[in-house]
A = this chain, B = another copy of it.
């Protein structure tokens, strides 16, 4: 499960010059401990409960949650009843989403929150909850309470690996990193543990991500940085266009380094660049680990306006026809034109349009369509260009002013097998 390559390995995320990848065994930033155990939520007996603690007296944090209209109980409890700017702990589990579980689900979530607060000696309002797994099943509270106690005795500064394993479901790649970020006043540490492989989609992807740093910052800064970086990472990916009931991303700052990240400072910019690269690389790793994925792509959309580039990028990324062509390493770009036309149907499209939209398309830098019409090219070279593990499509709409991107995975037999057989 350990990554055989440097953490920053996508061409779409260059490593910032002032960050250093410390490798998977560097442990957590100062002021953090974590652990993970198998408490029996998963019938397989694999790890399923993780605990993350910040030992600072005045921790600072920020959080982002799914935008779904049917949020899971842990999302509701965390969002409504936690001090999200001063979290001291996170209790996370896999094997059960605690979603569509009604009032009992909320009660059960509160019980596990209370147990975790007691076990680590903090106010329950400072314990965030996160769950992932099948929807519609009740949480096995008794098993979890035992697991919480067990995990609380195993917390350690290098427990991030065990914590990460405990939050995985269908993941096959380990998605975590420990970075050192050089700032003017000294260096700080930044680490993250992340899960996600399916039910990954718009409005910020189906995943859990926990980020720790020993930098000192105000709650507004944590809020700003997490908000901006989530928008540029987990909000820009899709495996299957499906929005989870449980998406959660939390940034926690222990302040143990004593290095300040002041608002609107050069430090903030440098730290923000590192956080941005970290979350973007993790987001791309989620897509690479998309259920059954063999190949991933970036669709970059320019021109038009902000609504049209967003609609087009999502339509291309979520098109099963584009995704199967990507899987088959087939340029088959007519399907991209189809997705563009569908995305803009009823806007500029429809019966009132006298001519097809003047869309340009290039694949891996080769222009294949200008103003809506195919141009001839070397078919063999084009077919060769889409064989790699990362493929880039650039769509230019008429007009100017907007730009966006979405990273997405292909659609494979393995996706169908996994999701036909993976049951609640």
A371 at the interface (CB under 8 A from B): yes
Name the one of B319, B338, B417, B421 contacting A244, with C-beta atoms under 8 angstroms: B338
Contact with B along A85-114 (1 / 0, CB 8 A): 000000000000101111111000000000
Compute how far the CA of A344 lies from the CA of B66 in the bound complex, rounded to whole angstroms. 12
* B-contacting residues, A130-162, CB 8 Å: 134-138
Which among B105, B355, B371 is the interface contact of A373 at CB below 8 angstroms? Answer: B105
A75 to B351 Cα, complex, angstroms? 10
Judge if A184 is at the interface, Cβ distance under 8 Å: no
User: Known interface pairs A242-B342, A320-B320, A420-B328. Does A70 touch B333 (Cβ–Cβ under 8 Å)?
Assistant: no
Interface range on chain A (Cβ under 8 Å from partner): 35 or more
| A15-62 with Cβ < 8 A to chain B | none
In Å, the complex CA distance between A76 and B373 comes to 14
Complex contact A325–B420 (CB within 8 A): yes
Per-residue interface assignment for chain A, residues 199 to 212, with 1 indicating a CB less than 8 Å from any chain B CB and 0 otherwise:
10111000000000
Of B136, B369, B371, B421, the residue contacting A334 (CB under 8 A) is B136
Interface residues of A in 336-368 (CB under 8 A from B): 337-351, 353-357, 359, 368
Flag the segment in A186-194, A279-287, A407-415 that touches B. Answer: A407-415
Measured between C-beta atoms, what is the minimum distance from A424 to chain B in Å? 5
Pairs of residues from A and B, 5 with the lowest C-beta to C-beta distance, nearest first:
A102-B373, A135-B334, A69-B349, A70-B341, A243-B342
Given A101-B374, A325-B419, 19 further pairs, Cβ under 8 A: A67-B345, A68-B342, A69-B340, A70-B340, A70-B349, A70-B357, A100-B334, A100-B356, A136-B337, A241-B318, A242-B338, A242-B339, A243-B342, A245-B337, A245-B338, A325-B420, A328-B423, A330-B420, A334-B424
Between A and B, 16 residue pairs with Cβ closer than 8 Å are A68-B345, A68-B349, A69-B349, A70-B338, A70-B349, A71-B353, A97-B334, A241-B320, A245-B338, A324-B420, A328-B421, A328-B423, A331-B424, A332-B423, A334-B424, A413-B417
